[in-house]
Amino acid sequence: MMLQLSGLNAHYGHVHALCGVDLAVQGGEIVTLIGANGAGKSTLMMSIFGVPRASSGRILFEGEDITQLPTHQISHRGIALVPEGRRIYPRMTVLENLQMGTAKADPTNFQTDLDRMEALFPILADRRDQRAGTLSGGEQQMLAIARALMSRPKLLMLDEPSLGLAPLYIKKIFQIIRELKRDFGMTVLLVEQNANHALKVADRAYVLQHGRIVLSGTGAELLASPEVRAAYLDGGGGH
Amino acid sequence: MAQAIQQLINGLTLGAVYGLIAIGYTMVYGIIGMINFAHGDIYMVGAFIAVTSFTLLAAFGVSSVPFALLAVLVVAIAFTSVYGWAVERIAYRPLRASNRLAPLISAIGMSIFLENMVQVTQGARIKPIRPILTGGINLFTQGTFTVRLFETQILIIVTTVALMAGFTWLITRTSFGRQQRACEQDQVVTKVLGYNVDRIISVTFMIGAGLAAVAGVMVTVYYGVVDFFIGFVVGIKAFTAAVLGGIGSLPGAMLGGLIIGLVESFWAAYLSAEYKDVASFAILILVLMFRPTGLLGRPEVEKV
Ligand SMILES: Nc1ncnc2c1ncn2[C@@H]1O[C@H](COP(=O)(O)OP(=O)(O)OP(=O)(O)O)[C@@H](O)[C@H]1O
Ligand SMILES: [Mg+2]
């Protein structure tokens, strides 16, 4: 098991955002987490990085307990996050943003990895010296993904990568997720509101509701499940 | 005319010193969003370390001026940056999660503590050193007025320009500088990407303190005297420089320092030497009233 959350609880002050979450991701898998607004999806991803710190429960990554590890050391284990809302550095150039993705990477890999990212996202090559804040939303999302990949992660976590993007970009992002799995055996944990796309790409999926996992199964099973269809597909936006 | 040129020289010298200190205010503000009110006192501590080191070197019979200067600079930077580090660890880090007022009060407390510590250990009287650089060049004479450029002024301006160039390179071109700017923009993401943000903040305080220490050494050499109260007065002027330039902007801090230095020199020469401090206070109030973002402050028009 690559990532295993067991009995994970997280709070923001008095808000109980995660209530005993159990979730597992195996190496090479794409796992999707869907849920309505405020269900706790972003909290789940961020709590793996210790912001907020789990109030109880355990987070194992490749067998190591990382629950109490300082935030900055978690990425060194091989986890990278594309945060909700992209959160690229707007007042840095595209190149500098990519450099920021290499905290513990071997510097001799930098050129190779940069070339790879620029091949994957040609727009980044054209805009290398442009301030990232001036990129379009879709371009910023590409940059956020590339920045995460620069660390050569074992596990890539994406928090609503398609949010606010035009259909063309959404297609491209899901295509890249598939390619990362196919070509590099990348393990992916994906949070999406775009349940249809996300379940199609997923090997397995979980449904989060009010901080609890209420349903899990293969992507195909959840796609077919009447509850999921009613709540997250078929035009249903919540519950 | 001659007098104006003399004031220009004096003002640039003074402005260089204010600029060095202003960088510390602006960097700390940029990274943790608070005014480090103890920064002026850090500068004062740097000046006292300089006095003590100069006195010790003289006692040991060191007569080479360049060596003495270099040694004092190294010692002052080393010790003062430890002070900067300690101030952050003791007074600010434990309060980082609390509301904005708490670290501000803590900063003022730290400032009072440092002033009193120096007053108790060093005495409340003005401390002089033996003049180190006394020479100068007579540039030209007009009527009875001779425009002079002192060696100390050359030293201050050259050192400051070199230091600011090196510092600009550090921030814009190196990996550390990139991490420092990253923390200014998004600390959580910077942590998640694998950077030790606490360490970056500590180093930021140390750099700010190190630059203030250089300013302290320079002022000691320039005026030949220090006292425990300079931290407050000079601190407020440098703070004004940082606000005038646009708090959070590094070029702004340098520019603001120069302007404050020049205004003060000309004010002292043409208006009133006794009330020269009024000039910077007036500028501070005017800027806060009419242009709080300062000259080079960032207009927030990012697409995020
Ligand atoms: N920093 C915070 N402080 C206090 N409460 C928070 C904070 N962040 C999130 N919450 C609360 O925690 C709950 C879960 O929020 P979270 O952002 O994880 O939801 P989400 O599933 O990612 O929603 P969305 O789909 O809108 O992104 C919500 O009730 C939210 O209001
Ligand atoms: Mg979210």
Q: Where are the domains of chain B?
A: 20-231
Burial class for A235, CB neighbours closer than 10 Å (0-12, 13-18, 19+)? exposed
Predicted pLDDT at A237: 47
Going A115 to A116 to A121 to A122, the CA torsion angle's sign is positive
Chain B partners of A101 at a C-beta cutoff of 8 Å? 193
SS3 A185: coil
CATH number at residue A193: 3.40.50.300
Domain assignment present for residue A220? The answer is: yes
A201 lines ligand 1 (CB under 6 A): no
Residue range B227-277, pLDDT digits in tens: 888 899 999 999 999 999 999 889 999 999 999 999 999 998 888 878 888
Smallest CA-to-CA distance from B236 within B95, B74, B36 is with: B36
Predicted pLDDT at A229: 86
Cβ–Cβ below 8 Å for B191 and A71: yes
Predicted pLDDT at B272: 80
Chain A partners of B181 at a C-beta cutoff of 8 Å? 89, 91-92
Cβ–Cβ below 8 Å for B191 and A49: yes
In this structure, the strands spanning B145-150 and A64-65 are unpaired
Predicted pLDDT at A74: 96
Domain assignment present for residue A30? The answer is: yes
Q: Which residue of A has its CA nearest to B298?
A: A91
Domain assignment present for residue A225? The answer is: yes
Predicted pLDDT at B301: 43
Residue range B67-89, pLDDT digits in tens: 999 999 999 999 999 999 999 99
Q: How many CA atoms does the CB half-sphere of A189 hold within 13 Å?
A: 26
Quick check: B172 contacting A, CB < 8 Å? no
pTM score, whole prediction: 0.92
Residue B303 pLDDT exceeds 80 = no
Query: Token match 């030790």: residue?
Result: B196
Predicted pLDDT at B62: 85
- Cα separation, A237 vs A232, whole angstroms: 6
Instruction: Kindly state the percentage of chain B with pLDDT values over 90.
Output: 68
Quick check: B195 contacting A, CB < 8 Å? yes
Residue range B39-53, pLDDT digits in tens: 999 999 999 999 999
This complex has an ipTM of: 0.93
Domain assignment present for residue A114? The answer is: no
Domain assignment present for residue A72? The answer is: yes
Element housing B27 (H / E): helix B2-32
Predicted pLDDT at A227: 85
A18 lines ligand 1 (CB under 6 A): no
DSSP state of B296: S
Predicted pLDDT at B299: 59
Phi, psi of A40, deg, nearest 5: 115, 15
Beta partners for residue A21, in sequence order: A8
Higher pLDDT, residue A207 or B99: A207
Domain assignment present for residue A197? The answer is: yes
Looking at the structure of chain A, the number of domains it has is: 1
Residue range B137-194, pLDDT digits in tens: 888 888 888 999 999 999 999 999 999 999 999 999 999 999 999 999 999 999 999 9
> Which positions of chain A have pLDDT values less than 70?
235-239
Domain assignment present for residue A21? The answer is: yes
Predicted pLDDT at A235: 60
Q: Which distant-in-sequence residues (6+ apart) come within 8 Å of B252 by Cβ?
A: B26, B242, B244, B245, B246, B294, B295, B296, B297
State the residue range of the domain holding A191: 1-78+155-166+187-239
Chain A partners of B192 at a C-beta cutoff of 8 Å? 49, 51, 71-72, 74-75, 81, 83
DSSP string, B242-260: HHHH-TT-HHHHHHHHHHH
Going A41 to A42 to A47 to A53, the CA torsion angle's sign is negative
Beta partners for residue A217, in sequence order: A205
Predicted pLDDT at B229: 87
Confidence at B130, pLDDT banded by 50, 70, 90: confident
DSSP string, B50-81: HHHHHHHHHHTT---HHHHHHHHHHHHHHHHH
- Cα separation, B17 vs B215, whole angstroms: 5
From the list A76, A91, A133, which residue is nearest B194 (CB)? Answer: A76
Q: Best mutation site among A8, A9, A15 for ligand 1, i.e. most ligand atoms within 8 A of its Cβ?
A: A15
Domain assignment present for residue A160? The answer is: yes
SS3 A238: coil
Predicted pLDDT at A239: 40
